[in-house]
Amino acid sequence: MIERYSRQILFEGIGEEGQRRLLASRAIVIGCGALGTAQAEALARAGVGKLRLVDRDFVEESNLQRQTMFTERDALERMPKAIACARHIGEINSQIKVEAEVADVNQSNVERLIQGCDVVLDGTDNFGTRYLINDACVKHDVNWIYGAAVGSYGVTMTILPHRTPCLRCVFPETPQAGTAPTCDTSGVIMPIISIVAAAQVSEALKLLTESTGNLHGSLMQFDVWQNVWRSIKLGAPSEDCPTCSRGEYETLHAEAGDFAAVLCGRDAVQIAPARATRLDFESLAGKLRAAGEVKVNQYLLRFRAGDYELTVFPDARSIIRGTSDVGLARSLYAKFIGA
Ligand SMILES: [Zn+2]
């Protein structure tokens, strides 16, 4: 162990004691896409003793430009990302324990998944899942590290329940469906992934080695194309935050989930946002044209993405044809409509 981690042990912020703590820690990476695989690889190399990896998607060719852990073979075999990630990590560091779970993270499993973890790393691609992680982590007092990247822009912050602001303190409302850019409509370049993941992993290492005095305590924002590096200092949790102040964890209750998803027919799923909204079809169509074929009239917008067809209504309700898998439909909705 001394040789393998020698350069990290030499680093005075970690040392032998810090290394022992890392080896005795358990981290969970939720979402094994670009951010999540970068986080998982760094944590594995650093010797975090137990890693739990969760993702519901399969590797696709269009992932390879930025999801640096995956290979052409993973895409060809359409490997589940959590499994492919665990397999590669096994080759990188066979001395740590890796658990992979192919699952859609939702209110039915999030509390179980974070149980026993010392830190949660956000590798997800949508706000719905992040609010769910936030509620579960604040409720169970588990530290978590928010991170997001789209285009050339990225953002991260570290949440220590009841000590720092939570995600809802900083962003009280989910962005309205269809308004936020996503990687599938606006693209993304790899360097911003590396930066956000590196910032998240640095915070994880500080937390796991109990160097909490070195945490950045900020909402950090980066734009590698516009050359912006900004850090906004965060204070105490908000007194108006329902999660922090009143212990209301609305996303953990099934009836208040972000989406009502129902099977409709043999090969279609309907997704409806919980919050009423009016979509701007013109701007949504503009974004989606970069990703596939779009047809739009005043009543509905129809978008074809590979084997799937999304029919979107003005209230942001959507019927996704080509699958009867609710988790997959939620994932397509998050990718293309964005919420
Ligand atoms: Zn809060």
6-48 pLDDT, tens digit each: 999 999 999 999 999 999 999 999 999 999 999 999 999 999 9
pTM: 0.84
CA 79 – ligand 1 centroid, Å: 37
CA 240 – ligand 1 centroid, Å: 8
How far is Cα 233 from Cα 68, in angstroms, rounded to an integer?
31
How far is Cα 184 from Cα 126, in angstroms, rounded to an integer?
12
Query: Looking at residue 68, what is its pLDDT?
Result: 93
CA 167 – ligand 1 centroid, Å: 6
- Torsion of Cα atoms, 126 then 137 then 195 then 77, to 10°: -60
Let me know if 99 is exposed, middle or buried by CB neighbors in 10 A (0-12, 13-18, 19+).
Answer: middle
CA 241 – ligand 1 centroid, Å: 5
Residues with CB under 5 A from ligand 1 (ion): 166, 168-169, 237, 241, 243-244
If one counts every other C-beta atom within 10 angstroms of the C-beta of residue 245, the result is 13
Q: How many helices (H) and strands (E) are present in the chain, helices listed first? A: 13, 14
How far is Cα 311 from Cα 179, in angstroms, rounded to an integer?
17
| pLDDT value at 255 more than 90 | no
| pLDDT value at 108 more than 90 | no
> Among 117-126, 186-195, 231-240, 264-273, where is mean pLDDT lowest?
264-273
One-letter amino acid of 301: L
How far is Cα 14 from Cα 21, in angstroms, rounded to an integer?
9
| pLDDT value at 115 more than 80 | yes
CA 228 – ligand 1 centroid, Å: 27
CA 186 – ligand 1 centroid, Å: 29
- Strands 50-55 vs 97-102: parallel, antiparallel or unpaired: parallel
Residue 216, SS3 per DSSP = coil
The two three-digit tokens of residue 11, written as one number: 């680093």
The alpha carbons of the chain give a radius of gyration, in whole angstroms, of 20
Q: What share of the chain is helix, strand, coil (3-state, %, to 5)?
A: 35, 25, 40
How far is Cα 119 from Cα 122, in angstroms, rounded to an integer?
10
∠ Cα 121 139 335 (to 5°)? 45
CA 28 – ligand 1 centroid, Å: 21
The two three-digit tokens of residue 280, written as one number: 């701007």
CA 143 – ligand 1 centroid, Å: 13
The helix (run of H) or strand (run of E) holding residue 310 is strand 308-312
**Mean pLDDT within 148-160:** 97
CA 217 – ligand 1 centroid, Å: 15
The two three-digit tokens of residue 98, written as one number: 């890796």
Partner residues linked to 101 by β-bridges? 54
The two three-digit tokens of residue 152, written as one number: 């050339």
- Torsion of Cα atoms, 68 then 73 then 79 then 81, to 10°: 0
The mean of the pLDDT values for the chain is 91
CA 166 – ligand 1 centroid, Å: 4
CA 11 – ligand 1 centroid, Å: 34
CA 223 – ligand 1 centroid, Å: 26
Distance of CA 4 to the CA centre of its chain: 30
Residue 121, SS3 per DSSP = strand
